[in-house]
A and B are shown apart, each in its own frame.
Chain A
């Protein structure tokens, strides 16, 4: 079965073709057009520009994905129908609707968060020789991105239970806002990690919120404010490079510390066989390594799964993969009925 995936929930317009055979996914094509550079210029998203940009590129991107996969028409279309920026989501949903009607191909709606989890199952031709161990259930997924921070327990495929989430800001949002406080630019994640490598993670003792609570919820709003107050108390107008590096390192350390501790604690409590990670912040090297070490040390029989870095940020291959599973369970939505839902829950 060949699935065409379409994703346009935020900054990326993406299309991909994934083939699904005997329970395995193979990414035949994966095309992403990002607006990050465009938004870096203005320092933020311009919503009608975002929507217009998605509208302009979505057709050529779908064409490229089909051509690269050497197929004319897929067996199923899978589209992200939420959560996300409403105006952006609609472009993808409308394109999927039009193609489903024109081709008479069944359509499935995918939650963006499922996509980030299923990035862990993806192999592409480049990584074909890379033998990835199979994810075993029950599994725990830590989803960390600009808009999300969630711990999701999965007892089987497509079965999700959110056992913890942020109460205020998402991790990626905290990275972006701290980068802005330091005048580093947008998007903040990669810029902070780069500086963090040169800084001292123990220079400043930033708060680790919610660590003493027995639940699996997170809070990053206070950490952002702690960075703001630390910088304000320095009473200078510009920061020395060393100060910036130390703030970045100490901030990243505080974030990773909380994520790793809560994830390993949840993994133990639920006795999971796999710990996985997904979302844009899953590209953060320090988080990938620290969580890996913690799982190895504290949960030696648990598998630690990381998506290939290309599949951590928003892409349509992960949407197509989830779409394949929904299609095999006949979770089809008639093209007349599919709706973009900015608050769609898992």
Chain B
């Protein structure tokens, strides 16, 4: 009997194991769908660190994730304002982008109050810069993004 195919993320989540995997998406819609699949594995209290060059689809991924969690309004790049907060159906999504930030002492940033709640999911673009800081607070998940060979392709690399 053929079992229903589970997404890679779901499989990793079920096993509670550290596994990594690559997924190639060929359009904005596919990126959004993949993000939605990933969103369904989140319980709240996680920090998701998105890493990858300019134009690899990080903001699109966050939009897909937020939509899947019931966010209705605009999901835009928070490069200038540092963080956007969206209200989903049951969870709050804190969307950060630390592209413009360098060498910060994150404990002095004054953003902890946004980060430490169980009903919140923190998603950070250019997350490697804050990985060490966020590890004190959350279960962190890293996702890497790369350009594909063709201009419409993007590669998502999970490290779970």
Q: Which residues of A contact B (CB under 8 A)?
A: 10, 39, 42-49, 51, 83-87, 90, 146-147, 165-170, 172-173, 176-177, 180-181, 221, 224-225, 228-229, 232, 342-343
Contact = CB atoms under 8 A, between A and B. Distances in A.
A173 B55 contact: no
A146 B99 CA distance: 13
B76 A44 contact: no
A48 B99 contact: no
B82 A85 contact: yes
B14 interface: no
B102 A224 contact: no
Most buried by A among B55, B81, B104, B108: B81
Given A86-B110, A228-B54, 19 more contacts: A39-B100, A44-B99, A47-B82, A47-B101, A47-B108, A48-B105, A48-B109, A86-B82, A86-B111, A87-B109, A146-B80, A147-B80, A167-B76, A170-B76, A170-B79, A173-B79, A176-B79, A221-B60, A229-B151
B84 A166 contact: no
B1 interface: no
Chain B interface residue count: which class? 20 to 34
B102 A43 contact: yes
Given A48-B105, A228-B54, A87 B110 contact: yes
Given A46-B102, A46-B103, A87-B110, A221 B55 contact: yes
B83 interface: yes
Contacts, number: 93
Contacts of B108: 47-48, 51
B12 interface: no
Contact of B111 (A46, A87, A181): A87
B102 A42 contact: yes
B77 interface: yes
B101 A83 contact: no
B100 A169 contact: no
A176 B97 CA distance: 15
Contacts of B85: 342-343
Contacts of B111: 86-87
29 contacts: A10-B80, A39-B100, A42-B103, A44-B101, A46-B101, A46-B104, A47-B101, A47-B104, A47-B108, A48-B104, A49-B104, A51-B108, A86-B83, A87-B109, A147-B79, A147-B80, A167-B74, A168-B60, A168-B76, A170-B79, A173-B77, A173-B80, A221-B55, A221-B60, A224-B55, A228-B54, A229-B55, A342-B83, A342-B84
